[in-house]
Amino acid sequence: MISFYQKRVKSSVTPRVSSAAVASAITMLGGPFGIVGGIKLVGLITVVGDAVSGYGLKAIVKAIYKERNKTESVQFLIK
């Protein structure tokens, strides 16, 4: 008996279809700026993500709540 993992399963998605889906997704991300805007947005997300991971997410959240604590009550922040 052949197990599920021993069978070779062909993907039903061809390379043309998958690249069309990626192009469509990037175009939708770009909004009115189209595919160029989508590519720039993906680049911006990468840069911001690298900066956040380099500085530390915990430090950023701490700084945000420190500023919010100046204008909002602690009870409101806990909720």
Domain that includes residue 52, residue range: 14-78
* Domain membership flag for residue 4: no
pLDDT for residue 41: 94
Q: In whole angstroms, what separates CA 28 from the centre of its chain?
A: 14
With cut-offs at 50, 70 and 90, classify the pLDDT of residue 11.
Answer: low
Q: What is the pLDDT of residues 12-71, one digit of tens each?
A: 556 666 888 888 999 999 999 999 999 999 999 999 999 888 888 888 889 998 999 898
**Joined tokens for residue 21:** 């889906």
User: Dihedral of the CA atoms 69, 72, 76, 77 (nearest 10)?
Assistant: -30
pLDDT for residue 2: 53
* Domain membership flag for residue 6: no
Q: What is the total count of domains within the chain? A: 1
pLDDT for residue 79: 74
* Domain membership flag for residue 58: yes
* Domain membership flag for residue 7: no
pLDDT for residue 77: 75
pLDDT for residue 76: 82
